[in-house]
């Protein structure tokens, strides 16, 4: 298939791109800084474009079969619009070029229910603090993005991972249309789900959770590495430098 990946230069975008190339797909990786994109392959085209530029988005979508959006921004107290504006430009360009399949990333927090079996502290203290304080503006815009996707007429799937961490390989992860037990999703597993959904039709017009069950780090380990190491476990990507 011919796939275009927005947010390709973020950790999840690079993982998804690498897996797609390995499976023989033709990939257009969209990033604002194409010179910094680390992957090369005869089946890969790196396109310099900003998702907030509708003309640039339209150019990269010509002739594609499916779209994967791994856009993301860091937590901020300022208003966030990248998700909703970006998906607006993407879906309009998809309609213009007759591209039907869309897969994008939001967050498991948007299920609006606690993770099954979670501790009282995580369910009542930690996650609400993230969702309502640190990540409030990010999740508000994710919600707007989901509404735009849901109300459109494309063949869409929204993937809602939990806190993200790096892993060396794809695992035997869980996928479901309701919130799953567990706190974390590896970027390798998330990339694999995005790819599986983009090339197939298993969860069309559905919100999908994905949870890693093997080799999962402790909450403290993820906080140390992701928060203090420059990556945040939620949302999916660190910043918009990869858009």
Measured between alpha carbons, how far is 93 from 116 in angstroms, rounded to an integer?
Answer: 38
Q: Which residue has the tokens 């990540």?
A: 135
Sheet of strand 174-176, all strands in order from the earlier edge strand to the far edge? 44-48, 26-31, 2-6, 66-69, 101-105, 155-161, 206-211, 174-176
Digit-coded pLDDT (tens) for 11-51: 999 999 999 999 999 999 999 999 999 999 999 999 999 99
Q: What is the pTM of this model?
A: 0.89
Residue 228 in this model has a pLDDT that exceeds 60: no
CATH of range 2-242; options 3.30.365.10, 3.40.1350.10, 3.40.50.720, 3.30.230.10: 3.40.50.720
Boundaries of every domain in the chain: 2-242
Digit-coded pLDDT (tens) for 112-154: 998 899 887 777 777 777 777 878 999 999 999 999 999 999 9
Measured between alpha carbons, how far is 193 from 197 in angstroms, rounded to an integer?
Answer: 6
Angle of CA points 47, 94, 51, to nearest 5°: 45
Taking alpha carbons only, the member of 81, 82, 101, 105 closest to residue 91 is 101
The mean-pLDDT minimum among 76-80, 142-146, 164-168, 239-243 falls in 239-243
Average pLDDT, whole number, for the chain? 90
């Amino acid at each position: 298939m011919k796939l275009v990946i927005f947010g390709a230069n973020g950790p999840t975008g690079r993982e998804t791109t690498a897996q797609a190339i390995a499976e023989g797909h033709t990939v257009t990786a969209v990033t604002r800084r194409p010179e910094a994109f680390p992957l090369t392959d005869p089946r890969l085209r790196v396109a310099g474009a900003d998702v907030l530029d509708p003309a640039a988005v339209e150019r990269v979508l010509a002739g594609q079969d499916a779209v994967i959006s791994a856009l993301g921004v860091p937590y901020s107290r300022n208003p966030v619009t990248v998700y909703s504006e970006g998906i607006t430009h993407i879906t309009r360009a998809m309609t213009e070029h007759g591209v039907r399949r869309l897969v994008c990333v939001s967050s498991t927090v948007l299920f609006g229910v606690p993770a099954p079996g979670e501790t009282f502290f995580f369910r009542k203290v930690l996650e609400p603090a993230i969702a309502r304080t640190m990540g409030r503006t990010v999740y508000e815009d994710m919600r707007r993005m989901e509404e735009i996707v849901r109300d459109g007429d494309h063949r869409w799937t929204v993937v809602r991972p939990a806190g993200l961490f790096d892993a060396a390989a794809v695992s035997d992860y869980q996928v479901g249309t309701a919130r799953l037990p567990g706190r974390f999703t590896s970027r390798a597993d998330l990339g694999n789900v995005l790819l599986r959904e983009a090339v197939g039709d298993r969860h069309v017009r559905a919100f999908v959770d994905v949870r890693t069950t093997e080799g999962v780090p402790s909450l403290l380990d993820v906080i140390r590495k992701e928060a203090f190491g420059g990556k945040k476990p939620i949302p999916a990507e660190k910043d918009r430098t990869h858009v």
